[in-house]
Amino acid sequence: MRRILIVGATSAIAEATARLFAARGDALCLVGRDAARLKLIADDLGVRGAVRTATATLDVTDFAAQAAVIDLAERELGGLDTVLIAHGTLTDQNQAQESVDTLRREFDVNALSVMALLTPIANRFAAQGYGDIAVISSVAGDRGRMSNYVYGAAKAAVTAFLSGLRQRLQKSGVNVLTIKPGFVDTPMTKDFPKGALWAQPDAVAAGIVKAIDKRRSVAYLPWFWWPIMGVIRSVPEFVFKRVKL
Amino acid sequence: MSGTSWGRYPQPHDQRLLMLRDRDAPLPDFTGTALPHGNGRSYGDSCLNSGGTLLCTRGLDRFIAFDAERGLLRCEAGVLLGEILDLVVGQGWFLPVTPGTKYVTVGGAIANDVHGKNHHVNGCFSEHVAGFELLRSDGSRRWCSAHENADWFAATVGGLGLTGLITWAELRLQRVRGPWLNCETHRFGSLAEFFALSAAAERDYEYTVAWIDCAARGAAAGRGHFICANHAPAADGPRPSRRRLSVPFTPPLSLINRASLRAFNTLYYHRQRARVQQALTHYEPYFYPLDAIGRWNRIYGPRGFLQYQCVLPPAAAEAGMGELLARIAASGSGSFLAVLKVFGTRKSAGILSFPRPGATLALDFPNGGPATFALLDALDEVVAGAGGAVYPAKDARVAGARFRGYFPAWQSLQPYLDPKFSSSFWRRVTE
């Protein structure tokens, strides 16, 4: 049985993932901004088989409040061995180009808050000598593109942070998984036209659980984003700058 | 989420889709009319709202509470029946009523007051609904059950989503020992034989249904297989195949035509050599044989298909079914799986509930244009003449006057209709 902390638990991908854990009889602490929705999700997970559920509200950009929530999760679940960080906002690129306030807020939510959460969690897991850390980054962090480079830059920061953390924790028995979903059909992307590359949250969730269980380092979800991003990364800059992506 | 119906006819136009995700949230803003839309498994246009909005409920897919001692399940309206089975069968419970697909939502099952092969024992779906919350466009919420707001309950079960949005419901489940059923299949040669088999089996079997060879003519007319079953106390049995087939694309023409139809039906009839055959069967292939083939509705080609399901009162059942089958066989149209069942005598709770005493026949027709519509109009004449009815959940074409004749109480729904809710079906049959 896993004791799992999920931050950003009301997101579609996180909820779908939590259902898979619940069906296996894991214990879950759900963290998000909306207490009422957390309660609805916790009840659902309980029916699906979670041995224990707890909820806590947190605005992730309130860095000072983070530690108390991690303490609460540990207390409620009787320890922690798995953390899934799934919160994030899809940055409005045009707005972020115009406003430094937007830029900073987006970095706070999508990058800094993640690193801040991981700092005490990594230290606790290193001290206890076991644990799985899984973080939803994005394929957008693999290369900055004109259509969403502020979001991409924040995700790139997370990806780099995780890569370093993974090296550091490797010998402590703690695995760090970087999850890179492509296009996922969720409320966050509801205004986009959907094509063949779009995945459902359930499929991405199944990939996340599998990658955590197998203690993988990086998971592109669905898998075909790995070769796609390989190509996009390898395009030389003098060509890339002339492409509209 | 495509916002179409299972028969892929008619195709909706100018329809806006809004995904609901929170049962406690107010209805989203919309202009014009709205209609709740579950998993889009109604066949015709009762789940469509051309020129309006669909309130898509699949995002309301959370369980709320399950009392495994008493078999009481609370869940949101967008939960699929299959998701309920995945949860409860292992704990010794089953749906007391299930239609022929598990890919329908709880809200859809209530709004169409669906029935199953055990109608003669358990009645309609609504008999097992302890209650549900109805959210209206004016923001009001009502708990509706057979005792509380009973008039709203009667209007909403079978009410085709027109009385408001069902947000969540409480269901009473049925105890079972496991996922298996003892099945007995009898080959029969005529309708008279079918009715005799059905009458004899009703007392001893929870589930009775027949497959009928709708292509057979002359002496072979009315032949088929009668299948009766009970939940089995077996501790072990066959597992359902995990392989999932799917129709990958829509062929340019319907694959169901006169030749393939006759060949399939004849082979299927003769598949069983013995007159009676017994088997221990898992519930999935027993209740949901077509669910094993993903998107099977595509085999009817780009023009889609029309399902026709009618009921004929007991006195007229045998002669009327003979007449219907003769007309269908003569047309050369029809489907691989034509289904015949005798309903029980229990009164359905809903104003617009379809099941009533008598025999019901259901089959699909590829959309062959005017000839198909003329055939279905001719079938309507037989049904109306016999005092029967056609099932709105399956319908895409019945004339308004016919519908109003089939459901003479339709006007008593009027006071309960949500003024901002409507459907393509409702406008077609009432305006």
pLDDT in tens, B57-69: 999 999 999 999 9
In this model, does residue B1 exceed pLDDT 60? no
Whether A187 and B19 lie within 8 Å, measured CB to CB: yes
Alpha-carbon distance values, A225 to A139, A169, A181, A219, B352 (Å): 8, 27, 8, 9, 50
**Cβ pair B5, B42 in contact under 8 A:** yes
pLDDT > 90: percent of chain B: 83
**Residue B240 DSSP symbol:** P
pLDDT > 70: percent of chain B: 100
**Cβ pair B94, B86 in contact under 8 A:** no
Q: Indicate the helix (H) or strand (E) that contains B186.
A: strand B180-188
The architecture in CATH of the region A3-240 reads 3-Layer(aba) Sandwich (3.40)
The minimal CB distance from B65 to the residues A41, A43, A187 is found for: A43
**Cβ pair B30, B53 in contact under 8 A:** yes
Q: Specify the residue for token string 């809903």.
A: B350
Vertex B363, ends B360 and B368: CA angle to 5°? Answer: 140
A190 touches B at CB < 8 Å: yes
Distance (Å, whole) CA B377 – CA B385: 12
The pLDDT value given to residue B244: 74
Residues of A in contact with B65 (CB under 8 A): 43, 47
pLDDT in tens, B327-357: 998 888 887 779 999 999 999 999 999 999 9
Q: Any residues with CB less than 8 A from the CB of B74 and at least 6 apart, and which?
A: B63, B64, B65, B66, B168, B169, B170, B171
In this model, does residue B306 exceed pLDDT 60? yes
Q: Indicate the helix (H) or strand (E) that contains B278.
A: strand B276-282
What does the domain layout of chain A look like in residue ranges?
3-240
pLDDT in tens, B267-304: 888 888 888 999 999 999 999 988 888 889 999 999 99
The rounded average pLDDT for each run of 10 residues, N- to C-terminus, in chain A (245 residues) is: 98 97 98 97 98 98 97 97 96 94 97 98 98 97 95 98 98 97 87 85 97 98 95 94 88
Residues of A in contact with B24 (CB under 8 A): 36, 40
Whether A40 and B21 lie within 8 Å, measured CB to CB: no
A40 touches B at CB < 8 Å: yes
Whether A44 and B64 lie within 8 Å, measured CB to CB: yes
Vertex A50, ends A49 and A52: CA angle to 5°? Answer: 140
Distance (Å, whole) CA B365 – CA A181: 42
Encoding tokens for residue B228? Answer: 């009766």
Report chain A's terminal Cα–Cα distance, integer Å: 43
pLDDT in tens, A119-149: 999 999 999 999 999 999 999 999 999 999 9
pLDDT in tens, B112-132: 999 999 999 999 999 999 999
The pLDDT value given to residue B267: 86
A149-169 and A100-107 helices, crossing angle to 10°: 30
Residue B328, number of CB atoms within 10 A of its CB: 25
Taking the CA of residue B14 as centre, how many other CA atoms within 13 Å lie in the half-sphere pointing to its CB?
Answer: 7
**Cβ pair B4, B24 in contact under 8 A:** no
Q: H helices within A129-178, ranges in order? A: 149-169
- Work out the average pLDDT over B389-407: 97
Of the pLDDT bands very low, low, confident and very high (cuts 50, 70, 90), residue B253 is: confident
The pLDDT value given to residue B269: 87
Distance (Å, whole) CA B222 – CA B326: 9
Residues in chain A: 245
Encoding tokens for residue B105? Answer: 């939502």
Q: Which residue of B has its CA nearest to A15?
A: B62
| Strands (E) located in chain A | 3-7, 27-32, 52-57, 82-85, 131-136, 174-181, 218-221
Omega prior to A222 cis, within 30 of 0: yes
Q: Which residue of A has its CA nearest to B65?
A: A47
The minimal CB distance from B62 to the residues A36, A41, A187 is found for: A41
pLDDT in tens, B170-223: 999 999 999 999 999 999 999 999 999 999 999 999 999 999 999 888 888 899
ipTM above 0.85, yes or no: yes
Residues in chain B: 431
**Cβ pair B268, B336 in contact under 8 A:** yes
Distance (Å, whole) CA B396 – CA B376: 11
Of the pLDDT bands very low, low, confident and very high (cuts 50, 70, 90), residue B256 is: confident
Alpha-carbon distance values, B191 to A10, B204, B211, B341, B371 (Å): 56, 21, 11, 11, 26
Distance (Å, whole) CA B137 – CA B163: 9
Whether A47 and B64 lie within 8 Å, measured CB to CB: yes
Q: Any residues with CB less than 8 A from the CB of A104 and at least 6 apart, and which?
A: none
Looking at the DSSP bridge assignments, the partners of residue B134 are B142, B166
Distance (Å, whole) CA A162 – CA A176: 7
Of the pLDDT bands very low, low, confident and very high (cuts 50, 70, 90), residue B37 is: very high
pLDDT in tens, A90-107: 999 999 999 999 999 999
Q: Mean of the per-residue pLDDT values for chain B?
A: 94
Query: How far out from the chain centre does Cα A178 lie?
Result: 8
The fold for domain B180-403 equals: Vanillyl-alcohol Oxidase; Chain A, domain 3 (3.40.462)
**Residue A27 DSSP symbol:** E
